[in-house]
Amino acid sequence: MILLLAALLALYDVEQGSQTYIRNITQRNSTAELLRDVRSHLDLVENRLQRIVIEPVQKDVQKLEQALTQLSLLLNHLKQLLAQDDSRESQAIANQLQADLDRLHRSGMELVGLRTEVERWFPAIRQMREVTYPHSQAALNQLDILLAEVDEELSAEQRLRVVMSVSTLRHFWSAMASELRLFVSNRFGVFASDASVGMRSRFTNVIYYAEEVKAQINTLKALHEEGLLGFLGAESIDEVESRFTGWMRGAYQISVMLEGSGWRRDVVMLQQTIDPLLEQMRQRLRVINSDSENQSAADITRLTNMARQLTLTMGAMALFTIILVLLAYIFLNRTLLKQIARTALALKQEAQGNLRIVPPPAKLSEMRDLVEAFNEMRRQVHMRQKHLDHMAYHDALTRLPNRVLFRDRLEHALQIAVRDGRRIGLMFMDLDRFKQVNDSLGHLVGDELLKVVAERLQRVIRGSDTAARLSGDEFAVLAEGINDRADMIPLADKVVQALEQPVCIDEHELRISVSIGIAIAPEDDHLADDLIRDADTAMYAAKKQRGSAYRYFAQEMISEAAESLQLENELRQAVEAGQFLFHYQPVVSLWSGELYCCEALLRWRHPTKGLLSPAVFLDTLDDTGLIVRVIDSLLDSLVDQQKLLSRLVGRPVALALNLSPRLLNDPPFCRGLLKRLLEGQFQTGSLILELTEDTLTHELAEANELLQQLKNLGARVALDDFGVGQASLNHLRQFPFDLVKIDRDFIRNVISDSNDASLVQAIIHLAHAFDMKVVAEGVETKGQLAFVQNLGCDFIQGYLIGMPLSAEQAQECAAVDQASGGLFEPTEFLVD
Ligand code: C2E
Ligand code: CA
Ligand code: CA
């Protein structure tokens, strides 16, 4: 801004100055022109004067006056012009010029006057008129008087001599005067530069005659002394002589006059007054001109100086600007650019993971902010990186190491174990029925359960052991530094014990069991992945057992696992091929002995292995979800069978269908079932749905609603395998079952085990208390029959009264039953 202002000021200054100077110069140019004009008019005046000197023509006189007037106007104009100028001197000179002009005017006019009056023009003529001529007249008069006075007494000869002498004198005087006149008039004709040559000869004549005159005067004097001249002679001679002397003096004066330059007054005036005056005026004009030129030159110099100064100023400013820019750049570079570059470098290094580069301390506060922001960002990034790293290696939910980290540690532990010749143990565990918990109670509960499991796991393992969550409900524990397999038993026991403790989440009390597979390195395998696979395989073997269990890995398990995989494949094909069917096992009323219902039990007609029971394939079928398709495809046959059996028996015979949690949680299947009921494919009460307790463990509310809907449409609901599950009493209370089926495990020992006996008794009482009928399953002996019958059990199911039969066999039996008036003779079983 300052620079700009300075530049503008300088520019303004120069502009103003240059304008003034240019105006001055322009003015001076007109002055010069005017001066030229004045000069030419001066020339004109001179010219006119010279012409007038040569010949005073009236026309030239007028022109002279015009030129003088013009000159006066020009001078006035000049004065005005100069008045605007600074030069006082010029103004003074102009005033002097004016005065000069006045004088010139006067002199000019005087010259004109001079030229027109001859006597004034030629002073010699006046001299002649006023001096020589009067002397001549006087002398000649005196001579006349002398003649007249000549004495009469004189002899003639004497008289002649006197007359002769006087006449001669008169003659010579006249000649002398005449020569003088000629001398004077001769002057006009001689305009040679050296007029004296012609003039001198003429004056010599004058002198010659003057000599003669003088000689005659002497002769006269002699005559007088002879006494020839009378009384007044001496006086006259004296008079003549003095006149002669006067005349001669005058003549000499004229001679001098004519031989000198002043013979003409006009020329004299021209030379002595006018020419100097003109010269003086010209000189003055020159002074003014040169003064004006000097000033112009000074102005031009000043203008040039100004331009130079401006150039210098501009140059200085440009230099200053460059320096300023340079300084600014240096400053910027030091305070900003370098910082930015180094911060950028730090950023780049940071991005490449080099954490040592730190942005330099900043000088500028903005830069400091930037660096601080960078450091803050770096802190945050590191924190997040740490967090991400942690996340990458840890399970977000349980905060346990994840599979990646676990595998890493396992690998590391394996190396050390191999090096030190020690063993490590790997426990692979999977929670039982976790999926059901998740599906029925929701993921939040599932997550909580997993967290509890993780906490408990960490609590029971040693500090040197690693617990990890591998996926979903799969956990693993790495135990380092063990000596042999047996060392894993206490750990496995502790884990099982810890996990079997009931878990309370919200209002739910959950009991979980865990299946554990154990593998030992280096015996089983010495590669991490192989070891994990081994423990996983062992875990699957453990899964086959009810409740919590652990199994050591054994090589044959691999083939078992392979078999299970093969089974899965076979099952898929079997589903496609429709190799599934129902067998029907009768359930008989202990009160009437009549067939109450038949339970539909799934069978697989294996192309090579024959008819297979659910124990072989049901878990896999359920795990893969194939069960839904299988049961769905068999529902039509179930409907037909129910109708057929009812017709054959002659009264409605119900069919019991087992619903696994999988089926109950499959909306399309449930909708299909509801639809069939709605369409009346099953008559009221002719469909019994059997659910195990774990179906009810989770999402009870939803299950309840569905069951209620099914019940409303005429289905009946039975609680299957009662007594095996958990919180059984709760379940009885929570849903209005029509039937409770006591698990065959209890029935089996009912005679031998008093605990079981009292449990069965309690169940029957309880069920009746809730207004539910009771079915005793797996009744194989009459003893068992009698026992349950005594306790008031309502129905029995078991090999004692009927094996599961094919549909056709069941129909045949029904027909026989109809024919015999009851397949199962109640009296046969009734205890009195
Ligand atoms: P469950 O529901 O408890 O079915 C009764 C099982 O007890 C049947 O075995 C039956 O053959 C057997 N049983 C009956 N009376 C006796 C007896 O006196 N002694 C002994 N030891 N066993 C007896 P099965 O057919 O092998 O079925 C086993 C389990 O498979 C069933 O137990 C049931 O939970 C499941 N299951 C069978 N069919 C289906 C089905 O269609 N769907 C579903 N979800 N599960 C089914
Ligand atoms: Ca059943
Ligand atoms: Ca059962």
Residues 595-609 pLDDT 10s: 999 999 999 999 999
Question: Residue 638: CB within 6 Å of ligand 1?
Answer: no
Whether 601 is in the pocket of ligand 1, judged by its Cβ within 6 Å, is yes
Instruction: Report d(CA 811, CA 804) in Å as an integer.
Output: 12
Asked whether 585 lines ligand 1 (CB < 6 A), one says yes
**SS (HEC) of 7-50:** HHHHHHHHHHHHHHHHHHHHHHHHHHHHHHHHHHHHHHHHHHHH
The pLDDT, as a whole number, for residue 127 is: 84
Report the atom number in ligand 1 closest to the C-alpha of 779.
Answer: 18
694 pLDDT more than 80: no
Mean pLDDT of 12-30: 82
- Ligand 1 atom closest to Cα of 797? 15
Long-range contacts of 99-102 (CB under 8 A, 24+ apart): 100/277, 100/280, 100/281, 100/284, 101/68, 101/71, 101/72, 101/75, 101/281
CATH value at residue 36: 1.20.120
How far is 171 from 493, CA to CA, in rounded Å? 198
Q: Which sign, positive or negative, has the C-alpha torsion 682, 688, 691, 696? A: positive
Q: Are residues 639 and 546 in the same domain?
A: no
In a domain, 45, yes or no: yes
DSSP 733-792: HHS--SEEEE-HHHHHTTTT-HHHHHHHHHHHHHHHHTT-EEEE----SHHHHHHHHHTT
Banded model confidence at residue 488, pLDDT cuts 50, 70, 90: very high
The atom number, within ligand 1, closest to the CA of 804 reads 11
Ligand nearest to the CA of 778: 1
pLDDT at 449 over 90: yes
Average pLDDT on 817-822 reads 64
State both tokens at 764: 């029957």
- 203-215 in b/e form (b: 16+ CB < 10 A) is bebbbebbebbbe
pLDDT given at position 735? 82
Whether 784 lines ligand 1, by a CB cut-off of 6 Å, is: no
For a ligand 1 pocket test, name from 581, 601, 721, 788 the mutation site with the most ligand atoms within 8 angstroms of its C-beta: 601
Domain boundary among the residues 262, 288, 316 is at: 262
Asked if residue 676 is part of any domain, the answer here is yes
Q: What is the pLDDT of residue 430?
A: 94
CA of 799 to the centre of ligand 2 (A): 14
**Domain residue limits at 41:** 29-119+267-296
**136 and 104, same structural domain?**
no
Q: Which residues have beta carbons under 5 A from ligand 2 (an ion)?
A: 658, 690, 720
- How high is the pLDDT of residue 822? 52
Strand partners, 659: 691
Residue 193 has pLDDT above 80, yes or no: no
Q: Is residue 352 part of a domain?
A: no
**Would the CB of 777 count as within 6 Å of ligand 1?**
yes
DSSP state of 361: P
757 vs 353, residue with greater confidence: 757
Residue 681 lies in a domain: yes
Q: Which residues surround ligand 3, an ion (CB under 5 A)?
A: 720-721, 777
How close is the Cα of 756 to the center of ligand 3, in Å? 16
Residue 203 above 60 pLDDT?
Answer: yes
Q: Provide the pLDDT for residue 293.
A: 80
What mean pLDDT do residues 81-109 have? 84
Q: Is residue 573 part of a domain?
A: no
Share of the chain above pLDDT 70, in %: 94
Q: What is the pLDDT of residues 35-64, one digit of tens each?
A: 888 889 888 888 888 888 888 888 888 888
How many distinct structural domains can be found in the chain? 4
- CB of 820 within 8 A of CB of 650? no
Q: Is 804 in the pocket of ligand 1 (CB under 6 A)?
A: yes
Q: Which atom of ligand 1 is nearest to the CA of 659?
A: 44
> Quick one: average pLDDT of 429-447?
87
822 ligand 1 Cβ < 6 A? no
Q: What is the CATH number of the domain that holds 179?
A: 1.20.1440
Give the pairing type, strands 805-806 and 423-431: unpaired
Q: Give the dihedral of Cα atoms 222, 228, 233, 234; nearest 10 deg.
A: 40
Specify the CATH number for the domain of residue 547. 3.30.70.270
Ligand 1 touching residue 31 (CB < 6 A): no
How do residues 558-590 score in pLDDT, each as one tens digit? 888 888 889 999 999 999 999 999 999 999 999
pLDDT of residue 145: 84
> In residues, how long is the chain?
832
Same domain for 135 and 111?
no
DSSP designation for 362: P
Question: Rounded to the nearest whole angstrom, what is the distance from the C-alpha of residue 601 to the centroid of ligand 1?
Answer: 6
- Is 802 touching ligand 1 by the criterion CB < 6 Å? no
Phi first, then psi: give them for residue 510, nearest 5 degrees.
Answer: -105, 140
Give residue 821's pLDDT band: very low, low, confident or very high (50, 70, 90): low
* Band (405; pLDDT cuts 50, 70, 90): very high
Say yes or no: 782 and 801 in one domain. yes
The predicted model gives 407-411 an average pLDDT of 94
Residues 528 and 617 in one domain: no
> What is the arithmetic mean of pLDDT over 179-207?
72
**Cβ atoms of residues 537 and 561 within 8 Å:** yes
* Helix, strand or coil, per DSSP, at residue 466: strand
Same domain, 104 and 74: yes
Q: At what angle do helices 555-577 and 626-649 cross, to 10 degrees?
A: 60
Among 304-318, 343-357, 454-468, 533-547, the minimum mean pLDDT is found in 343-357
Same domain as 62, residue 197: no
Note whether 218 and 271 are same-domain residues: no
- The average confidence (pLDDT) of the chain is 86
**10 part of a folded domain:** no
To the nearest whole percent, how much of the chain has pLDDT over 90?
35
Q: Is the pLDDT of residue 390 over 80?
A: yes
Query: Do 792 and 721 belong to one domain?
Result: yes
Q: Are residues 143 and 280 in the same domain?
A: no
Q: How much is the pLDDT for 569? A: 94
Residue 195's pLDDT is what?
58
Q: And the tokens for 221?
A: 């004097």
In a domain, 500, yes or no: yes
At residue 465, the 3 state secondary structure works out as coil
Residue 337 domain-assigned (yes or no) = no
Q: How far apart are CA 630 and CA 627, in angstroms?
A: 5
Domain co-membership, 229 together with 276: no
Pocket of ligand 1 contains residue 581 by CB under 6 Å:
no
Residue-wise pLDDT tens digits, 216-261: 888 888 888 888 877 777 888 888 889 999 999 988 888 887 777 6
Query: Which residue's alpha carbon is nearest to atom 25 within ligand 1?
Result: 601
pLDDT at 5: 86
The answer on 620 and 532 residing in a single domain is no
Residue 692 CA: nearest ligand 1 atom is 34
